[in-house]
Amino acid sequence: MTVSEMTVPETALARLAVEYWKLLRLVERAIETAPDSARERISSQARYLAGQLETVLDEQEMSMQAFDGWPFEVNLPASAINGDDFGNAETVVVERTLEPAVIRDMRVILSGKVVLTAEA
């Protein structure tokens, strides 16, 4: 039985995908400090795993969206963990995505979490 033949609650799959995405970001940071002899092997494995994640999400007609560099607006499907710090700022942008939003059929399954910064 393949993943596409199984019935998995979409929120459970979305939560798992977000955790997998966070793990891949951690691996990307670890690659920077890995010995040169291991860097290419780890990078190749990370690319393969990212492709697997994308394949599973595509099979379920889901996608993930990170917001790094995006203007933070009311309709952005993400909550800011430091949003209260920018009450009077005119332009606030997403400095870093902590968790991407998961979307299916133009519908948000899980909202993302972001860190904001004031645009210079």
Supply the pLDDT for residue 120.
Answer: 65
Supply the pLDDT for residue 1.
Answer: 45
Helices 10-33 & 36-59 angle (0-180, nearest 10)? 170
pTM of the model: 0.83
With bands split at pLDDT 50, 70 and 90, how would you rate the model's confidence at 39? very high
Q: Is the pLDDT of residue 81 over 70?
A: yes
Structure tokens of 47? 């690319």
Supply the pLDDT for residue 86.
Answer: 79
With bands split at pLDDT 50, 70 and 90, how would you rate the model's confidence at 8? low
Q: What is the mean pLDDT of residues 94-104?
A: 97
Q: Is the pLDDT of residue 6 over 90?
A: no
Residue 12 neighbours by CB under 8 Å, 6+ apart: none
Q: Is the pLDDT of residue 64 over 80?
A: yes
Average pLDDT, the chain: 90
* 116 close to 80: Cβ distance less than 8 angstroms: yes
Radius of gyration of the chain from its Cα atoms, rounded to whole angstroms: 17
